[in-house]
Structure 1
């Protein structure tokens, strides 16, 4: 599968965030104006959020009204909650890649 350069950028941002923090997953989103946000999962005793949830929260709190794309880099698959938040903001399905950046699904 060949990715559009903007979607490839999201995978790169998500991989970099994951590697920088040594996290289980990294995510990146692109809003309706083309701004991008990248994040990793949060696993605290008082707060647990997926990387997609954190990236979406960053976008929404910065004024985004919808998303053009969501990317997840992980050994696993997006949760139902990740897919639901992506859909609520206009993305049919997140791009999912393994830690090496290889697109899956």
Structure 2
């Protein structure tokens, strides 16, 4: 599958965030104006958020009203909550890639 260059960019951002923080997940989103936000999962005693949830929260708190794309880099797949938050902001399907950046169906 050939990816749009902008979709490849958010996968690269998600991979870099994951690697930089040594986290289980990395995610990146692109909002309706083309701005991108990258994040990793948060696993604290008092707060647990997926990387997708953190990236979406960053976008929304910066004024995004819709998302064009969401990418998740992880050994696993997106949770139902990840899919729901992406759908709420207009994304029909998450881009999911393994740690090496290979897109999974």
What's the TM-score, normalizing by structure 1?
A: 1.00
The equivalent of 1:30 in structure 2 is: 30
How far 1:13 sits from its partner (Å)? 0.0
The equivalent of 2:6 in structure 1 is: 6
String of CA shifts for 1:55-89, please: whole Å, max 9, x gaps.
00000000000000000000000000000000000
- Whether 2:59 is the aligned partner of 1:39: answer no
Moved over 6 A (4+): none
The equivalent of 1:97 in structure 2 is: 97
The equivalent of 2:64 in structure 1 is: 64
String of CA shifts for 1:20-76, please: whole Å, max 9, x gaps.
000000000000000000000000000000000000000000000000000000000
Structure 1, gaps ≥5 residues long: none
How far 1:10 sits from its partner (Å)? 0.3
What's the TM-score, normalizing by structure 2?
A: 1.00
The equivalent of 2:80 in structure 1 is: 80
